[in-house]
Amino acid sequence: MTKWLFLLSHLMMIMRSGFGEIFVLGLLFMTGCASSRSTTSASAGRTTVDYNSYNEDLSSVRPIYRTTSTAAPSTNYPTPSTTPATTSTAPRKADTRRSNAPIEALHINRRLDMVLDTIATQNRSIRYAPGFRVQVYVGTQRKEVDAAKLLISQNFPELSPYLSYNQPTYKLKVGDFMRRMDAERYYTSIRRLIESAQLQPDKVDIRRSLLIK
């Protein structure tokens, strides 16, 4: 620090004396040379690395693939032997694996089929069921009951007539209706011909009821 102060004081004295301009130019020239020398010396001491010139031998770590020889297939076919081949007669082992079929489910299905068959047989044996019939005549006159029977057969041939006699009364009923809706539909039509007709509950023939539309 004292060195720089000394140089600065001499520089001011020289500038006052008249030789200041020449001295300043010489000082600038000297400092430029010193800076160039320091930069060249610093660059000379620095080492540079060229990454493009990298080279390393990696042959020791490369995998080695063995080439398989593709030899031509031989044409020497085996000659068939004339001795009969001996078949092994060793007994086969019994298959101990369990079948995946649901045995219990099949057993239940068989029992269910038997029950359904029984119900179907019983249903076929049932001939009569509760239903409705239309009573068209009640009286003691044979001619009147025959006339009513003829009138119904001409207008409603699909309805079966049922004539009963309990001395001295005749009763004539027609139809086999399982549903009251069907019975009321025919009852309305019969009332137009016979005003004394009545709708009554009765046992009806199941098979004949299926023929009524």
Q: Give the list of residues 6+ apart from residue 208 with CB closer than 8 angstroms, or none.
A: 160, 176
**Any idea what the CATH number is for the domain that residue 147 is in?**
3.30.70.1070
CB-based burial of residue 186 (10 Å sphere; 0-12 exposed, 13-18 middle, 19+ buried)? buried
103 is a domain residue: no
Identify whether 19 is part of a domain.
no
* Within-domain flag for 72: no
At 185 the pLDDT is 93
Q: Which domain holds residue 176?
A: 129-207
What's the rounded Cα separation, in Å, for the pair 133 and 180?
A: 9
Q: What is the DSSP string of 128-183?
A: EEEEEEEEEEEES-HHHHHHHHHHHHHH-TTSPEEEEEETTEEEEEEEEESSHHHH
Query: Do the domain assignments include residue 165?
Result: yes
Residue 87 lies in a domain: no
Classify residue 116: in a domain, yes or no.
Answer: no
In this structure, is residue 28 part of a structural domain?
no
Residuewise pLDDT in 10s, the chain (213 residues): 565 666 666 666 656 655 555 555 666 656 555 544 444 444 445 556 666 676 777 777 778 777 765 555 555 555 555 555 555 555 665 555 555 555 556 667 888 888 888 887 877 778 888 999 999 999 999 999 999 999 999 999 999 999 999 989 999 999 999 999 999 999 999 999 999 999 999 999 988 888 887
Residue 71 lies in a domain: no
* Residue 44: predicted pLDDT: 45
* Token duo for residue 119: 């119900």
> Reading across the β-sheet that carries 161-166, which strands appear in turn?
161-166, 169-177, 128-139, 198-205
**Size of the chain, expressed as the number of residues it contains:** 213
Q: How many distinct structural domains can be found in the chain? A: 1
